[in-house]
Chain A
Amino acid sequence: MNRRKFIDFFLGGSLAGTVIAFLYPTIRYILPTKQTEAVIKKVTAAKLGELAPNTSKIFKFGTSPGILINTSDGELRAFSAICTHLTCTVIYESDTGTILCPCHNGRFDLSGNVISGPPPAPLESYNVEISGEDIVASKKG
């Protein structure tokens, strides 16, 4: 191979590489493959003072619902709001001070443990901490 041929081959190869490097991400963008959802570990559940005692709020934890409860003693507790039975969203029942799944009447205590009904497992509980004006809920472990 003489010098001219080598330069032509080198330039041609580089051009082809450039075209592929440009087209591949473009095609991948236009024809995307299934991607896994980003794992969220910490979210702002509410603002400080937003919840009166013995009330609750459903907040967004990624794409799933979480439940933040300000107990009658003023203690903040957070759980996944997904019932462990059939994934309905649970609610806080202030008159009993328990968490209720309205779909099949599964009931949990304020530690997330099952009291009655069909749920087979406790609700996943989250850590709760105050960060400035925010109440932050985060996954344990």
Chain B
Amino acid sequence: MKARKMRKIINLLSIFFLAISIFSLSLYAQKNSCVECHQELEDELLAPVEAFKIDIHQQFGLSCADCHGGNPAEEDIDLAKDKTFKGAPQRFRIPEFCASCHSDSRYMRRFNPRIRVDQLDIYWTSKHGQLLKKGDTKVALCTDCHAAHGIQAATHPKSWTFPWNIPQTCSRCHSDTNYMKDYKIPTKQWDDYKDSVHAHALFEKKDLSAPVCNDCHGNHGATPPEVTSIAYICRQCHPSAGELFSQSPHKKAFDEMELSECEACHGNHKILPPSDEMLGTGEKAVCIQCHEPDSEPYQIASRIKEKLDAFIKKIRHAESLLEQADRQGVEVSEPKFMLTEANSTLIFVRNLTHSFSLMEIEEKIEEGKKVVAEVTNAGEAALREAKFRKTGLIIATCFIFLLSIALFLKIKQITKKTPNESP
């Protein structure tokens, strides 16, 4: 009996000490002397603590020591900064500092099996990486684009690398004329980009698929595209225009003249919405940049523009007829539906101009014209119907009006006669 009681006491004491041990260990594990000290400090020594609160590394359970080393469980600063302590890396060592984890596929797989681990290798191929290797520490490093302690996932809208933040991220250096003066490259890319059709799609329409700096220049491997590669970059999103251009006589001529394909006519950072004025031989036409008046290509450009303008005019005329008929209450949904086909043809033809084939363009325009002719006929018929209804209404209204006057006069006549007829 006594032995049983004794065993019970021993068991309870064991549980108690075990609980105390686990509690102490958890306290020891949670202790972070880096944070405790740094939050008592000011400015740049406090900033990492504040920024790290939203850092993606913190969200994945990493702490200061995982990057900077040391023993955060120790309160004493000398003991905390033990032999594993790395501190803040020198600027030129930052890429390798980050890569010590980010290039370790086995380590990174724990957190995200899909994450790339070749950023450092790619970085060394970038203009930034090449210059860093030569000892230029002004160039962009991991922390310049991702931040040092407030790093957020690229999918987070507040991340420096979220699509609509990337132009500002790059422009922090690239628009700074003073900072960039040694590199002798333009600093108005951001100003130009702001006016572009891509910026409009990104910032006005909130279209995150619109290209930003890294979509054309690369991100970790950022470098200006070579003349020969520009067209392939544009083709990532505009494949059909590229294919048409490749089959056109311009391809060979551009290659021989070492002209970049798309960029030669559309520009680079300031790519404005393409307009029909870019075609032909008018003031804003890009064809006249190379083709002399009276040359055959010049004539072809002029003919293409004429054909296109005539087609557009016909579509607009048909549209106007349908709008008038619709306004006058005639049902025109069928021809309106047909007009969408003509508009599709117009869009197709505008893209087809990259082939610079007058024959192909004429052929497609003729197809479209047939549809437009049908729509125009339907629109004219609808307007005739509206006119017939209006005329009928006016005639009926006139008759009703005349009848009212006649009735009024008749009543007046009757009321005049009535006193004489009465006895």
Contacts and interface: CB of A to CB of B under 8 A. Distances in A.
A52 to B, nearest CB: 23
Contact of A89 (B241, B326, B340, B394): B340
A37 B341 CA distance: 19
A69 to B, nearest CB: 18
A56 to B, nearest CB: 16
Contacts of A20: none
Contacts of B416: none
Nearest to A89: B344
Chain B contact residues, majority secondary structure: helix
A63 B332 CA distance: 9
Contact of B334 (A22, A60, A104): A60
Most buried by B among A60, A117, A118: A118
A60 B333 contact: yes
Contacts of B334: 60
Contact of B337 (A22, A32, A37, A63): A63
Nearest to B239: A105
A121 interface: yes
Interface in B177-213: 201, 205, 207, 209-210
B326 A62 contact: no
Interface in B313-360: 326-329, 333-334, 336-337, 340-341, 343-344, 347-348, 351
A48 interface: no
Contacts of B86: none
A32 B337 CA distance: 23
Interface residues of B, number: 31
A35 B348 contact: no
Interface string B263-278: 0000000000000000
A117 B241 CA distance: 11
B201 A88 contact: no
Contacts of B394: 30
B329 A32 contact: yes
Interface string A99-136: 00011110000000010111011000000000000000
Interface string A60-76: 10111100000000000
A86 B243 CA distance: 19
B238 interface: yes
A34 interface: yes
A32 B383 CA distance: 13
Contact of B209 (A30, A35, A65, A120): A120
Interface in B360-402: 390, 393-394, 397, 400
Nearest to A82: B340
B349 to A, nearest CB: 9
Nearest to A62: B333
B237 A87 contact: no
Contact of B210 (A103, A117, A120): A120
Contact of B351 (A29, A34, A103, A121): A103
Contact of B340 (A64, A102, A104, A117): A64
Contacts of B348: 88, 102-103
A33, A60, A114 — most chain B CB neighbours (10 Å): A60
A120 to B, nearest CB: 4
A14 interface: no
Contact of B390 (A30, A87, A105): A30
A9 B210 CA distance: 70
A26 interface: yes
Interface of A: 22, 26, 29-30, 32-35, 37, 60, 62-65, 82, 86-89, 102-105, 114, 116-118, 120-121
Contacts of A35: 326-327
B240 interface: yes
B393 A29 contact: yes
B329 A30 contact: no
Given A64-B337, A120-B209, A120-B210, A104 B238 contact: yes
Given A118-B237, A120-B207, A121-B207, A87 B327 contact: no
B333 A88 contact: no
Nearest to A65: B340
Contacts of A63: 333, 336-337, 340
A87 B333 contact: no
Given A29-B329, A60-B337, A63-B333, A104 B205 contact: no
Nearest to A102: B348
A86 B348 CA distance: 10
A62 B333 CA distance: 7
A104 B241 contact: yes
A103 to B, nearest CB: 5
Nearest to B208: A120
A117 B336 contact: no
A29 to B, nearest CB: 6
A81 to B, nearest CB: 9
B205 A120 contact: yes
25 contacts: A26-B393, A29-B393, A30-B394, A35-B327, A60-B333, A62-B333, A63-B336, A64-B337, A64-B340, A65-B337, A65-B340, A86-B347, A87-B340, A88-B343, A88-B348, A102-B348, A104-B239, A104-B240, A104-B347, A104-B351, A105-B239, A114-B209, A116-B239, A117-B237, A118-B238
